[in-house]
Structure 1
Amino acid sequence: MEETIPGTETAQIPRQRGASLLETAVRYAEERHWDVVPGTWLEAVGGEQRCSCEDPACALPGAHPARADWASQATGSATVARRMWQKQPRAAILLPTGRTFDALDVPETAGCLALARMERTGLTLGPVTSAPDRRMRFFVLPGAAAKVPELVRRLGWSPVSLDLAVLGEGEWVAAPPTRYGVRGAVQWARRPTPANRWLPDVEELISAVAYACGRTR
């Protein structure tokens, strides 16, 4: 079952209900061949939802790696993923970047503007997440981290002037339906489909994304 919530007039954000974290993690590994790794989870303490890391000042409660060696624990095996989430069914689903994809990380306002612009030009997108921290992540081919600074400069922008980051090797994206504390759950702004299995190169998206970040900074 899907529920649609407003993003912009031209960009609607679908939300999937009913699928467990275990089922979804297995599906990411099985259907998309993405590596997955369990993260932290939320625990009820004194009537409040707190991160399992036990840090009261945790910036990403329930949505960050649970152990230092998380990257080496990530798996693309659906069988192993099922065993991992059977041990901790509430664990966040983290997708390591720098492997099958990198991700452009931008503010939600800029992300919605970029999506609308891309739709008007008929650009083929990969999956895009929208998270409760009001950030959107656009999935692109690996290697984007090395390309973006020069691409942004060619477009006439200073890389440090834009709120545009690239998540590559050693980083991660929290995947739906992972929850961020009391702020809500990660959702798909553009969900994975057979049509977007082949990801775009960052060069195809950077103009629209940089323009949107510049307009909304």
Structure 2
Amino acid sequence: MERKGRFSQWLRRPRSGAGGEKGTGAGAGGVREDLLMAAAAAGFPLAPAAHPSGYGCSCDRIGCPTPARHPVSFAWQTQATTDPDKVEQWLRADPQANFITATGIVHDVLDVPADAGRLALERLGAAEVEVGPVATSSGDLQQGRMLFFSATRGTPDDEDEWWPCELDCHPETMDEHPGLRWHCRGSYVLVPPARLPGDGHVGWVLGPERPLPDPLTLLEALTDACARFAGSDQDQAAAWPMGR
């Protein structure tokens, strides 16, 4: 209950930086840590990611195409964990680090342009469809995205049973999906709260404590909303290459 209260308090604050707050004091850091721990407690596998540095990225890649939006290590898939002690260790090592959550293990993420996401969220609410965690992402490299977290389609023991889908989005193919992106096995998204270059941030609209819905209950509303806004200009950011 205390965690939920602090989560609600965070969402009510003015947003101008790291998931809702620009400050770097102990109070801001404590709430940020609580939110990351809440995501880990909800079963979201986390791994450290780059963060803004000056006008660019904290990584050593010259001209990084996705500043502050990619994992620190190419081994992020094996690093990703829900262990709070490990997450705390990473935070102590680099208090400014963003975090990604690996998809296709516990959850998938349906990632749509912000305008389409807001319309879909309104329609889903009117239809009384249960929506799970929802986050927003904005920044210099993209005009705004909304992330709908859902239960994963799974990773069955029998690989032949895995359901392939042309909507699948991997980190290195995001520029091919300016509309709906379906992050499942082998992909990731930034988990709130996260800072992006300039005034960009990733923040929760609906928190990680919510149950994960079946993605198919959201898909029709999201695809319809994306079709409505298909003519609008969308960003096509290059993506961080995935390790092989």
* TM-score bucket of the superposed structures, by smaller chain: 0.7 to 0.9
> What is the CA–CA distance in structure 2 between the aligned matches of 1:162 and 1:82, rounded to whole Å?
34
Whether the 8 Å CA contact 2:46–2:80 is kept in 1: the answer is yes
Distance 1:112 1:148, change over 3 A: farther
Whether the 8 Å CA contact 1:27–1:78 is kept in 2: the answer is no
Aligned AA (1:62): A
Q: Is 1:139 the equivalent of 2:155? A: no
1:185 alignment counterpart:
201
How far did residue 58 of structure 1 move?
2.2
Distance 1:69 1:88, change over 3 A: same
1:9 alignment counterpart:
none
1:114 alignment counterpart:
120
Out of 209, 212, 215, the residue aligned to residue 222 of structure 2 is: 209
Report the secondary structure of 2:189's partner residue.
Answer: strand
Q: Deviations over 1:122-171 (max 9, x none)?
A: 11111011001311111111118947659xxxxxxxxx998111001111
State TM-score, norm by structure 2: 0.70
Report the secondary structure of 1:80's partner residue.
Answer: helix
Distance 1:147 1:128, change over 3 A: farther
Out of 8, 12, 23, the residue aligned to residue 3 of structure 1 is: 12
Q: Is 1:124 the equivalent of 2:130? A: yes
How far did residue 192 of structure 1 move?
2.4
Question: Any unmatched runs of 5+ in structure 1?
Answer: 6-14, 151-159
Distance 1:139 1:161, change over 3 A: closer
Task: Report the aligned-residue RMSD.
Answer: 2.6
> What is the CA–CA distance in structure 2 between the aligned matches of 1:90 and 1:161, rounded to whole Å?
29
Out of 34, 46, 49, the residue aligned to residue 36 of structure 1 is: 46
Question: Any unmatched runs of 5+ in structure 2?
Answer: 1-8, 22-26, 155-161, 168-175, 231-244
2:64 alignment counterpart:
58
Whether the 8 Å CA contact 2:36–2:192 is kept in 1: the answer is no
State TM-score, norm by structure 1: 0.78
> What is the CA–CA distance in structure 2 between the aligned matches of 1:122 and 1:71, rounded to whole Å?
35
1:12 alignment counterpart:
none
How far did residue 3 of structure 1 move?
2.9
Percent of aligned pairs sharing the same letter: 29
Aligned AA (2:152): P
